[in-house]
Amino acid sequence: MRVAAERGLEAVSLRHVAAEAGVSAGMVQHYFRTKDEMMVFALDVVRERGQVRVSRAVAELGENPEPRALLRTVISAILPRDEESRGDAKVGLAFLAYTAVRPEAAESLRKDVEEMIRYVQTLVPVPGGAEGLLAMMEGLGLYVIGGYYSLDQALKVLDAHLDLLFNAGP
Protein backbone atom coordinates (compact mmCIF):
# COMPACT_ATOMS: atom_id res chain seq x y z
CA MET A 1 0.00 0.00 0.00
CA ARG A 2 2.86 2.37 0.75
CA VAL A 3 4.38 1.71 -2.68
CA ALA A 4 1.09 2.51 -4.45
CA ALA A 5 0.37 5.57 -2.28
CA GLU A 6 3.88 7.04 -2.43
CA ARG A 7 5.13 6.08 -5.88
CA GLY A 8 2.02 5.24 -7.88
CA LEU A 9 0.56 2.05 -9.22
CA GLU A 10 3.21 1.61 -11.88
CA ALA A 11 5.74 1.05 -9.08
CA VAL A 12 3.75 -1.81 -7.59
CA SER A 13 5.49 -5.07 -8.39
CA LEU A 14 6.40 -8.12 -6.38
CA ARG A 15 10.01 -6.93 -6.32
CA HIS A 16 9.21 -3.36 -5.22
CA VAL A 17 6.76 -4.49 -2.55
CA ALA A 18 9.33 -6.97 -1.22
CA ALA A 19 11.97 -4.23 -1.05
CA GLU A 20 9.57 -1.88 0.77
CA ALA A 21 8.67 -4.61 3.26
CA GLY A 22 12.29 -5.67 3.73
CA VAL A 23 11.62 -9.26 2.70
CA SER A 24 12.46 -11.45 -0.28
CA ALA A 25 10.38 -11.46 -3.46
CA GLY A 26 9.73 -15.14 -2.76
CA MET A 27 8.13 -14.23 0.56
CA VAL A 28 5.78 -11.79 -1.18
CA GLN A 29 4.98 -14.42 -3.84
CA HIS A 30 4.01 -16.78 -1.06
CA TYR A 31 1.09 -14.44 -0.28
CA PHE A 32 0.45 -12.83 -3.68
CA ARG A 33 1.02 -14.62 -6.96
CA THR A 34 0.20 -11.59 -9.10
CA LYS A 35 -0.02 -7.82 -9.05
CA ASP A 36 -3.81 -8.17 -9.34
CA GLU A 37 -3.90 -10.12 -6.08
CA MET A 38 -1.82 -7.44 -4.34
CA MET A 39 -4.09 -4.68 -5.64
CA VAL A 40 -7.28 -6.45 -4.58
CA PHE A 41 -5.77 -7.03 -1.12
CA ALA A 42 -4.79 -3.37 -0.84
CA LEU A 43 -8.29 -2.29 -1.88
CA ASP A 44 -9.78 -4.62 0.74
CA VAL A 45 -7.60 -3.04 3.43
CA VAL A 46 -8.61 0.46 2.26
CA ARG A 47 -12.27 -0.58 2.28
CA GLU A 48 -12.03 -1.99 5.82
CA ARG A 49 -10.27 1.12 7.15
CA GLY A 50 -12.87 3.33 5.51
CA GLN A 51 -15.70 1.30 7.00
CA VAL A 52 -14.17 1.67 10.46
CA ARG A 53 -13.81 5.45 10.02
CA VAL A 54 -17.41 5.77 8.82
CA SER A 55 -18.81 3.50 11.53
CA ARG A 56 -17.05 5.45 14.28
CA ALA A 57 -18.24 8.78 12.92
CA VAL A 58 -21.84 7.60 12.48
CA ALA A 59 -21.89 6.11 15.99
CA GLU A 60 -21.13 9.57 17.37
CA LEU A 61 -24.39 10.85 15.84
CA GLY A 62 -26.48 8.69 18.15
CA GLU A 63 -29.68 6.93 17.19
CA ASN A 64 -31.84 8.01 14.23
CA PRO A 65 -29.80 10.90 12.84
CA GLU A 66 -31.37 13.15 10.24
CA PRO A 67 -30.54 12.13 6.63
CA ARG A 68 -28.57 15.31 5.90
CA ALA A 69 -26.44 14.93 9.03
CA LEU A 70 -25.90 11.26 8.29
CA LEU A 71 -24.77 11.96 4.73
CA ARG A 72 -22.44 14.75 5.82
CA THR A 73 -20.92 12.49 8.46
CA VAL A 74 -20.44 9.56 6.09
CA ILE A 75 -18.95 11.65 3.30
CA SER A 76 -16.71 13.69 5.56
CA ALA A 77 -15.40 10.44 7.10
CA ILE A 78 -14.59 9.17 3.61
CA LEU A 79 -12.69 12.30 2.56
CA PRO A 80 -8.91 12.22 3.16
CA ARG A 81 -8.33 13.93 6.51
CA ASP A 82 -5.03 12.53 7.80
CA GLU A 83 -2.00 10.62 6.56
CA GLU A 84 -3.67 7.21 6.76
CA SER A 85 -6.86 8.24 4.97
CA ARG A 86 -4.82 10.25 2.43
CA GLY A 87 -2.73 7.15 1.68
CA ASP A 88 -5.88 5.06 1.47
CA ALA A 89 -7.41 7.54 -0.96
CA LYS A 90 -4.30 7.36 -3.15
CA VAL A 91 -4.48 3.56 -3.18
CA GLY A 92 -8.18 3.73 -4.05
CA LEU A 93 -7.45 6.15 -6.87
CA ALA A 94 -4.63 3.94 -8.15
CA PHE A 95 -6.96 0.94 -8.09
CA LEU A 96 -9.65 2.89 -9.95
CA ALA A 97 -7.14 3.77 -12.68
CA TYR A 98 -5.94 0.16 -12.71
CA THR A 99 -9.45 -1.17 -13.27
CA ALA A 100 -9.98 1.19 -16.20
CA VAL A 101 -7.70 -1.07 -18.22
CA ARG A 102 -8.43 -4.31 -16.32
CA PRO A 103 -12.22 -4.47 -15.92
CA GLU A 104 -12.07 -7.97 -14.45
CA ALA A 105 -10.31 -6.53 -11.41
CA ALA A 106 -13.13 -4.02 -10.87
CA GLU A 107 -15.89 -6.37 -9.77
CA SER A 108 -15.63 -5.75 -6.02
CA LEU A 109 -15.32 -2.01 -6.59
CA ARG A 110 -18.37 -2.02 -8.87
CA LYS A 111 -20.43 -3.79 -6.20
CA ASP A 112 -19.33 -1.26 -3.57
CA VAL A 113 -20.35 1.67 -5.79
CA GLU A 114 -23.75 0.14 -6.56
CA GLU A 115 -24.37 -0.52 -2.85
CA MET A 116 -23.36 3.02 -1.91
CA ILE A 117 -25.64 4.52 -4.58
CA ARG A 118 -28.61 2.46 -3.36
CA TYR A 119 -27.94 3.52 0.25
CA VAL A 120 -27.57 7.22 -0.55
CA GLN A 121 -30.71 7.12 -2.73
CA THR A 122 -32.69 6.23 0.41
CA LEU A 123 -31.47 9.43 2.08
CA VAL A 124 -31.47 12.05 -0.69
CA PRO A 125 -34.87 13.65 -1.42
CA VAL A 126 -34.04 14.66 -5.02
CA PRO A 127 -34.12 12.18 -7.95
CA GLY A 128 -30.60 11.76 -9.31
CA GLY A 129 -29.20 13.57 -6.30
CA ALA A 130 -27.49 10.49 -4.86
CA GLU A 131 -25.46 9.85 -7.98
CA GLY A 132 -24.46 13.51 -8.23
CA LEU A 133 -23.55 13.67 -4.55
CA LEU A 134 -21.33 10.61 -4.80
CA ALA A 135 -19.63 11.91 -7.95
CA MET A 136 -19.01 15.19 -6.14
CA MET A 137 -17.59 13.28 -3.16
CA GLU A 138 -15.11 11.53 -5.45
CA GLY A 139 -14.13 14.85 -7.00
CA LEU A 140 -13.67 16.48 -3.62
CA GLY A 141 -11.46 13.58 -2.54
CA LEU A 142 -9.31 14.06 -5.65
CA TYR A 143 -9.05 17.79 -5.00
CA VAL A 144 -7.98 17.18 -1.40
CA ILE A 145 -5.32 14.56 -2.20
CA GLY A 146 -4.11 16.68 -5.12
CA GLY A 147 -3.74 19.71 -2.85
CA TYR A 148 -6.25 21.82 -4.81
CA TYR A 149 -8.61 22.06 -1.81
CA SER A 150 -7.99 21.88 1.88
CA LEU A 151 -10.27 19.59 3.87
CA ASP A 152 -12.09 22.69 5.15
CA GLN A 153 -12.74 23.90 1.60
CA ALA A 154 -14.03 20.48 0.60
CA LEU A 155 -16.38 20.39 3.59
CA LYS A 156 -17.74 23.85 2.71
CA VAL A 157 -18.50 22.64 -0.81
CA LEU A 158 -20.13 19.51 0.61
CA ASP A 159 -22.28 21.58 2.97
CA ALA A 160 -23.38 23.88 0.15
CA HIS A 161 -24.34 20.92 -2.01
CA LEU A 162 -26.23 19.22 0.81
CA ASP A 163 -28.08 22.50 1.46
CA LEU A 164 -29.17 22.55 -2.19
CA LEU A 165 -30.32 18.93 -2.10
CA PHE A 166 -32.18 19.16 1.17
CA ASN A 167 -33.74 22.57 0.58
CA ALA A 168 -35.00 21.56 -2.87
CA GLY A 169 -37.41 19.06 -1.34
CA PRO A 170 -39.29 16.36 -3.21
Q: What is the pLDDT of residues 76-99, one digit of tens each?
A: 999 999 988 998 888 888 777 777
Residue spans of the domains in the chain: they are 34-168
Residue 82: C-alpha distances to residues 54, 79, 96, 150 (Å)? 14, 9, 21, 11
> What predicted TM-score, i.e. pTM, was given to this entire model?
0.82
pLDDT digits (tens, 9 = 90+) for 2-50: 776 677 666 677 777 777 778 887 887 888 887 778 777 877 888 899 9
Residue among 142, 168, 170 at smallest CA distance from 154: 142
Superfamily holding 34-168: Tetracycline Repressor, domain 2 (1.10.357.10)
